[in-house]
Each structure stands twice: as structure tokens, then as C-alpha cells.
Amino acid sequence: MASNVPEKYKTLIKNNKRIDGRKLDELRPVKIEVGVVPSADGSAYIEIGNTKVLVAVHGPKEMFPRHMINEDRAVLNVRYAMLPFSTSERVRPGPSRRSNEISKVTRHALESVIFLEEFPAMGIDLTLDIIQADAGTRATAITAASVALAHAGIPMKGLVAATAIGKINDKLAVDLNGPEDNFGQTDMPIAMISTNKNITLLQMDGDFTKEEFKTSLEMAKKAIDPLFEAQKAALQKYYE
Amino acid sequence: MTSVKIIPKKKDTTIKNTTEKKNTKTETKNTEQSNTIVLPGDILVESIDFLTGHGTYREGKKIYSKILGILRKKEHVISVIPLSGTYQPKPRDFIIGEVAYVGYSNWRVDFGHPNSATLPMSGVPEFIENGADLSKYYKRGDLLFAPIESVTKNMIIQISMKDKRARKLFGGKIINISPSKVPRVIGKEGTMIAQIKNKTGCIINVSQNGRIWIKGDNEPLATRTIKMVEKLSHKKGLTETISQYLDKEVKIMDTPKSKDMETQ
């Protein structure tokens, strides 16, 4: 892997600053907008750095396909898709191994928060469209998804936000960007509930030592707060 | 965040008294504070002396908000009025629905929900003999304004026509609004809908599922007004602004007539 790294990405940290000038525990700039899709029951648009995601919620409505129905609770249908123009190389549209996995993982991250038992035999459709990908798409999508769900009036225990902790040049850093993700060592997306900071998603690509893992969890707990603030501010602003 | 968000009742009443005299600018400023918007996961109160109302849940001592909405405190019950969301049927709610199917002993009524409602033969005020043709009473396509009698856990919804206010709707037109805005269209103790009815002279039936039936000469104005209420639903002092709007619109409609009279 090291042999393919371009010269300018060999040192990702200089004087405790990253290539985009951030500190190690600093998030990328966050921008959230609510109610961008008029035809949907709830929607949100998010920009975290160069990662841009559009999320729409339809429902609770009649469950489709019919055979997936659950008589005592609603079924959350998540469709994650990277749009063809979202990366430098065209993404083939349609479901892929990767998008199926992320759809499933996102569903698990949000299902535990939603009071699905209030809507028996119904379905909630959640579409996550990645407009521009620059690392951390699943974390960004989850952050926007919970805003869109709140906008759709779906009862939830709390909001869910997600960020990633990574290892670059043997140092732990928050919210990796594209080059850091591609040429760094480890990437660990984490999603948490706003009320009690319970973890609803934890994946790891690469490796951490036991100590690194523990510190990275602590870092995530601290780093995620501005995301909750941004989510709340966006929803409050929409109803002003 | 915790107890600060609950606005004491006293404050509310003082605002009401003062705003009537003051100009509209100060009114909106005063009332913005009392219309606290809460989000899912917000702690509403941290005490066991309160009960959880609609849109809230308890975890230990704390009561949290479940939904995005406006905080309301009535005596010991804390609830959140939703600002968005689809309609969830509850007993005693009035719905407007269309008869979709006439069966041997019941009717099925579609009211814009995944599960349609059932109107049994016993739910009609008249006595119907066994085996009678039910389409004599209500046929396919008829519009009914009726209360929900019961909703089971797996969403079997029963309505009844035995209520005094329940009736079949003839003529008029139906407009759709977001179900979460219905309480605002009705207003506190029906003040909002009463003034729209009075000033436009229309007959209006508002159902909890977001369908509104309007009949009368001033139908377009009533429609416009209701759409305006829906759009500005989260603003305070809305009854007053709507009243002014209606007065202005009714005047405009009257003036051309009076001018014609003068020229003649």
C-alpha cells in the first residue's frame, strides 16, 4: 500500500496539523438543511467538508413489498446509493456489495432509536443519495438521516449522529477526509444516540491497539457533540 | 434545557392580555419564547411528579421528547404537539373518507391511511334488516364524515355513523392539509375555524386526517385562508392575523359591488 502513495500524501500530519489545516480532534465544517425535498414527508441535505448527501423519508405508509410486512412493527427500508458522478471515477448505478452493506448497517444504526412498534404493518422508506463522496459517507448519511426522520415526525428516542476516528501517520484523528482515508492506516465509523451516547454503529477498517481503541472511543464521544448541535440548530432554524 | 423550557401558565396569560393592546411586533417577540420547539431526545422535565403525554417517553426520572413539536404542559401531563408527520388514527377522531367497498354486512371506508376503516351495519342509526342491500344507505364513492369508534393494536379501524355530528357529505369540495396542522386550523376551543366559518359564510367540516370539506359561495377564500393557516401554523398570534386578513379580503370582495351601485 505504501508504495502507491503519492509524494504529497506521504506525510499527512505536519506540526500537529493535517493536510487541510485541521487539528487532530477537529471536525470538518458542517452544514445541514432541512426540508429540501417537497414531495417527501421528511428530508435533509448535509455537507461535511466535501461529502454531500441528500436524504429523503417517505412514510410511515403501506408496506411494500407486501411479503416483507411485519404485523407488529414498521419496517425501515434503507437505500444507500452513491450517485454516478459522486467520485472521480463513475460509479455504476444500482445495488452493489458495498451499498447493500451500508444500507443494512445504516438501518441497524437507526432502527434502535425509532419507535417502530407504533406503526404496525407499515413501512418507512429512507433514501440516502451520496451526491459527492469524500470519505465518511455512511457517517454523514446517518447524521442527515436522523434529521430527516425527525422532520418527518417519526418518534425517536433521540437523534443519531456519526463520525469516524482514524489512524494517520500513527496518530489518531477525527473525521477523516478523502486522502486521509485512502492513504491512512485505519478508519472507524461510530454512530451514537444524542441522549445517552450509546453506540449504534461501530465498524473498523484497519487495526488499532487496545489502548488506541479506548482513546478513540473517548475522542468520538467528544467530537460528536458539535454534530448534535448542528442537527438541532438546523431543525430549529427550519421552524423559525 | 431541563426545567427552563417549561413555561409557567401565568406567563401565558399575561402575554395574551398585553398583546391585544400592543402592536404586532412586540407580540411576535413575546410569544416566540412560549412556543418552544423541542426535538427528539430533548429532556423536558426531570421529576417523577409529571405524567407522560403524547409524544413523550420516560426513562428513569427524566421525561424526553419523542418527536419534533411544540411543548405543552397541562397540570401534571407533559406532551408534545407534533409539527409534522402522517396521520395516526385514534378513537373519537373525526375522519373524512370515501366508501370504497360495500359488503354483505359492512362498508369499507378509505381515508388516506394504509388500513381502511370499517363501518359495520350496527354503526348506522337506522335499523337494517339482515340481507338488505347496503348500497341503499351508502354506496361506493360516497363521502362520510364520521368518528372513529375503535382502533385495535393491529390497526383494525371501526367508524360509526351514530354520532350526532356524523353525516354523509353532499357537494362542496375537499382540500388536503398536513394532519399535524389540523389542531391549528381548528384553533383553541375552535376559535380559528369559527371565525373562518363566520367571515366567509361557508360550511366547513375539519377532520383529523387532514381532509377539510368546504361548501359555500366563498369557497376559494376559505381554501386560501386554510392554506395560509397551514403555512404559518407555528407562528403565534395567528388567530389575530387571520382575522385581519379575512376582514381585508371580504372588504375587497364587497367594494366593487358597492362602486357599481354608485355609478348606476
pLDDT tens track for B12-47:
433 344 433 344 443 333 333 457 899 999 999 999
**How much is the average pLDDT of B47-59?**
93
**What would the pLDDT profile of B231-245 be if each residue is shown by its tens digit?**
888 788 888 999 999
- CATH code 2.40.50.100 region(s) in chain B: 9-82
B57 touches chain A (CB under 8 A): yes
| Nearest CB partner across the interface for B41, out of A42, A63, A158 | A158
Q: What average pLDDT score do residues B130-147 get?
A: 93
**Which residue from B minimizes the CA distance to A73?**
B154
For CATH 2.40.50.140, the residue range(s) in chain B are 94-169
- pLDDT 10s digits, B65-97: 999 998 988 889 999 988 888 888 999 999 999
Percent of chain A with pLDDT over 90: 88
Q: Which of A117, A160, A195, A224 to mutate to test binding with chain B, by most B CBs within 10 Å of its CB?
A: A195
Among A44, A131, A223, smallest CA distance to B84 is for: A44
Q: What is the mean pLDDT of residues A153-179?
A: 95
Of the candidates B41, B155, B234, the beta carbon closest to that of A159 is on B41
What ipTM does this complex have? 0.92
The CATH number of domain B9-82, selected from 3.40.50.620, 2.20.25.90, 2.40.50.100, 3.40.50.720: 2.40.50.100
| List of chain B residues whose C-beta atoms are within 8 Å of the C-beta of residue A59 | 86
- Report, as an integer, the average pLDDT of A127-142: 96
Length of chain A equals 240
Report the gap between the CA of A206 and the closest CA in chain B (Å). 33
Q: For residue B153, give the nearest of A120, A154, A157 by CB distance.
A: A120
A170 band by pLDDT with thresholds 50, 70 and 90: very high
pLDDT, mean over chain A: 94
- The amino acid sitting at B145 is F
Name residues 145-204 of chain B within 8 A of A (Cβ). Answer: 153-155, 180
Chain B nearest CA to A224, separation (Å): 15
Q: Which domains does chain A have, with CATH numbers?
A: 2-238 (3.30.230.70)
List the CATH code of the domain at B94-169: 2.40.50.140
Name the band, by pLDDT with cuts 50, 70 and 90, for residue A2.
Answer: low
pLDDT greater than 80 at residue B214? yes
Say what the pLDDT of residue B256 is.
59
Which residue intervals of chain B bear CATH 3.30.1370.10?
173-256
CA–CA dist B89, B106 (Å, integer): 20
Confirm or reject CATH 3.20.20.80 for domain B173-256, answering yes or no.
no
Q: Residue A157's pLDDT is what? A: 96
Mutate to test the interface with B, among A61, A66, A71, A154 (most CBs of B within 10 A): A154
Q: Is the pLDDT of residue B3 over 90?
A: no
